[in-house]
Amino acid sequence: MNSKFQINLLTVILSACFFCFSKNLKSANSDSLKMSVALDSISSIYDDAGMSAYEVKEAFKDMHIQFEGDCKTYLEIEEKYFLANIFMDHNLDEFAWKYAQDIEIESIKINYKHGLICAYNLYAYIHHLRGEHEEAIKYASQNLEFYPNKSRETDNLISALIMRSIVETDTDSEINYLHQALSVAIQAKDTSAMNSVYGNIAFDFMQFRQLDSASIYVKKDFETAQILNTNKAYAYSYWLKGNLAVLQKNYDSAYTYFEKALAYKTDSTSNLSLVSLNMLIQLSQKKKDYKTALRLNKRKAYYENKNNEHSKIELKQIFDEVAWLNEKKIEQHANIQLLEAEKFQFKLILIFTGLMILTLVVFMIQQFRTKRLLVQKNKEISASEKEITQKNKELTDSITYAKRIQSSLLPTNNKLVSTLSEHFVLYRPKDIVSGDFYWLTTVEESVLFAVADCTGHGVPGALVSVVCYNSLNKSINELGSSKTADILNRTRELVIYEFEKSNESVSDGMDIALCALDKEGVLRFSGANSGLLILRNDDILEFKADKMPIGSFPVKSSFKEINIPLEDGDIIYLCSDGFSDQFGGEAGKKMKKSKFKSLLLTIKDMPMTDQQSFLNNALNQWKGQYEQVDDICVMGIKFKKGANQWLNA
């Protein structure tokens, strides 16, 4: 089943399980009846207007105070199921999985079948999203085994049949399960379930291009949505109408339906809203209404970035704190100079007063006063020096903490070892924090790695690196592709967009060498002002980068991608310019790339870890007493043909 419509199915599963839970309570004691009324109210709000995790927690917090015993246990299970579904809405399946485990354990303890149904639904759906179809089918089938007599507990049976259709890989079986669910829903007069099943059957017919049949079920879906009269039902129904209109090439109607779907947006339909926005953008582009497409794109970016607002606030706080500390450091430096000048002045006064005392007794009183004032000033100076020392310590501690934050963004050693078994990374920031970073991830069946050199070093460079690092990760998440040129093009757009938010002109960015290595041993490379070196036998192959950065630049063309078939024993080197630009040697000149290449030829037969040590020592010997001029990052990776370490991550 198409993943775009599975959100609706998961919602109806939540509703079906929840309503069955409420019906069980209504047959119990008076406390259970009260709790059922409260849970029905929460479900109605969630279904119509949406609820955040915080709002769900607050609602259940009030209810926990009112009930004890079994009711309290049921509440805990229901709360976790609610939250698990909200986590799924936000693609946080690892949290949903933990809640599913808790629900299963607690339900087994109290022999609570409904809780197990909820847990198995979550297990099945999460396995399905991860592509683990056999496990998904196992848990969905276990739920169906709870119902040997299909005439009872219709709500739970409907949810089990719908989930079984979601995880089914055979099209005929999928439709069969949906028709079984529809039959049970009609018999039980369950309008909510009927609405969902109508919609999904309609969507299947659209996929098979059986548009007449699809039209019938789209109409039934809308009729049941009108009966339900909830924002969520209307949103999904108009979204279905829009898809059908697109397939019928009735683009004006499609545009209207997708706009109506957006009009019924709630917290629980945010993913559907993004899908509808995408369709509106495509329809606007098809009509060549690029102005509207651009406006919709901005709206889409707002929705996509809405969940990242907290991270942006944290970055803003870090930026403000570092800026404040820098201002204080400048102010303290000026105070030190002022105090030193005052100290020198008082020394002159003391000398002058001493000479005057030898000749004029009348100045003895003045000498006493001056000496007393000097002592006081010295105390003040000493106190100020202590304060400045403390402030400098606090500043250094803050920047050191920022280094910990920056280090947490870099790939861990375990990840590097598990993904690239024979490798080394030489990472030497000029200051405590760095504008250089190295990066590693896996996409599709390729491992991607990069070395980046951001504008500046120290605190400014580190702040730029955070923007560039996040933009690179966001490009991967958006594209889901290992095409290096596309990734750099999108990363450049995101970096420019972030810096254009400032009222001032910002031309910062980064140089980067980005590689993607697949199972066949083909290396794809794209570079922005940062090239690639491959050591093959006794030769060094150099692949040039495009002469433009990731950031604002007068020339803005697409990056090129170079495909390089690797040979067994090839060593890949990525590096920033900090190593070759280091001053040193007897003449105090730059090392330059030619000497760096000579060093690589010298170490070609060494193990990778020894290469890192050798380069580090060679750099120290070259640098001598000279100051390190820039951040330094060198990554070396040895390719072994047929080895499987490239996709261990």
pLDDT per residue as tens digits for the range 303-331: 666 654 543 343 334 334 333 433 564 57
Q: Is the pLDDT of residue 16 over 60?
A: no
3-state secondary structure of 596: helix
54: CB partners within 8 A, 6+ apart: none
Amino acid at 461: G
* CATH code for position 506: 3.60.40.10
- 489 and 425 belong to one structural domain: yes
Considering the domain architecture, whether residues 500 and 640 belong to the same structural domain is answered as: yes
Residues 298 and 314 in one domain: no
Mean pLDDT across 204-208? 84
Average pLDDT over residues 94-98: 84
Please state, in angstroms and as integers, the Cα–Cα distance from residue 419 to each residue in 441, 457, 643, following that order: 9, 29, 11
Domain membership flag for residue 93: yes
Neighbours of 298 (CB within 10 A): 10
Q: Determine the average pLDDT of the residues in 636-647.
A: 72
Question: Which range (203-217, 324-338, 340-354) has the least confidence?
Answer: 324-338
The letter for the amino acid at 317 is Q
For residue 563, being part of any structural domain is answered with yes
Q: Which has the higher per-residue pLDDT, 150 or 605?
A: 605
Mean pLDDT of the residues in the chain: 80
What pLDDT is recorded for position 488? Answer: 96
What pLDDT digit, counting tens, does each position of 272-303 carry?
Answer: 777 888 888 888 888 888 888 888 888 777 76
CATH number (domain holding residue 209): 1.25.40.10
Boundary of a domain, candidates 274, 307, 340: 307
DSSP secondary structure string for all residues of 462-493: HHHHHHHHHHHHHHHHHH----HHHHHHHHHH
Contacts for 101 with CB less than 8 Å, ≥ 6 apart: 119
**Region 73-83 average pLDDT:** 80
pLDDT confidence of residue 564 = 96
Q: How many other CB atoms sit within 10 Å of the CB of residue 538?
A: 7
Conformational region of residue 422, where left means phi above 0, alpha means psi within -120 to 50, and beta covers everything else: beta
Determine the pLDDT at residue 268.
57
Res. 572 pLDDT band, cuts 50 70 90: very high
Identify whether 490 is part of a domain: yes
Interval 128-174: pLDDT, tens: 888 888 888 888 787 777 765 554 556 667 667 777 667 666 777 77
Q: Which of 158-162, 371-375, 425-429, 590-594 has the least mean pLDDT? A: 158-162
473 and 554 belong to one structural domain: yes
pLDDT at 354: 83
Q: Are residues 314 and 353 in the same domain?
A: yes
Residue 322 confidence (pLDDT): 33
Assess contact for 299 and 276: CB atoms under 8 A.
no
Q: How many domains is the chain partitioned into structurally?
A: 4
If asked whether residues 396 and 320 sit together in one domain, one would say: yes
**Of 77-86, 316-325, 420-429, 447-456, which gets the smallest average pLDDT?**
316-325
Using pLDDT thresholds of 50, 70 and 90, give the confidence band for residue 436.
very high
Q: Read off the tokens for 643.
A: 């080895």
Helices (H), 307-362: 309-359
Q: What range defines the domain where residue 3 resides?
A: 1-179
**45 and 167 fall within a common domain:** yes
Integer Cα distance of 530 and 528 in angstroms = 5
- Same domain? 357 vs 379: yes
**Closest C-alpha to 60, from 44, 88, 87, 83:** 83
Residues 303 and 313 reside in one and the same domain = no
Per-residue pLDDT averaged across 574-597, rounded?
A: 93
pLDDT in tens, 452-507: 999 887 888 888 989 999 999 999 999 999 999 999 999 999 999 888 887 776 77
pLDDT of residue 475: 95
Residue 392 lies in a domain: yes
For residue 522, give the DSSP letter: E
Residue 8 in this model has a pLDDT that exceeds 70: no
* Same structural domain, 491 and 607: yes
Final residue of a domain: which of 307, 342, 371? 307
Is it the case that residue 398 has pLDDT exceeding 90?
A: no
Residue 216 lies in a domain: yes
Are 13 and 84 in contact by the 8 Å Cβ rule? The answer is no
Share of the chain above pLDDT 70, in %: 79
Output the furthest CA–CA distance in the chain (Å, rounded): 120
Domain identity same for 511 and 600 = yes
Confidence of residue 36 (pLDDT cuts 50, 70, 90): low
Least confident segment among 53-57, 72-76, 103-107: 53-57
Has residue 634 got a pLDDT over 90? Answer: yes
402 and 464 belong to one structural domain? no
Q: Does the residue 184 lie in any domain?
A: no
Is 492 inside any structural domain?
yes
Residue 292 lies in a domain: yes
Residues near 537 by beta carbon (within 8 Å), at least 6 away in sequence:
569
Domain boundary among 290, 307, 324: 307
Which of 42-56, 141-155, 260-274 has the largest mean confidence?
A: 260-274
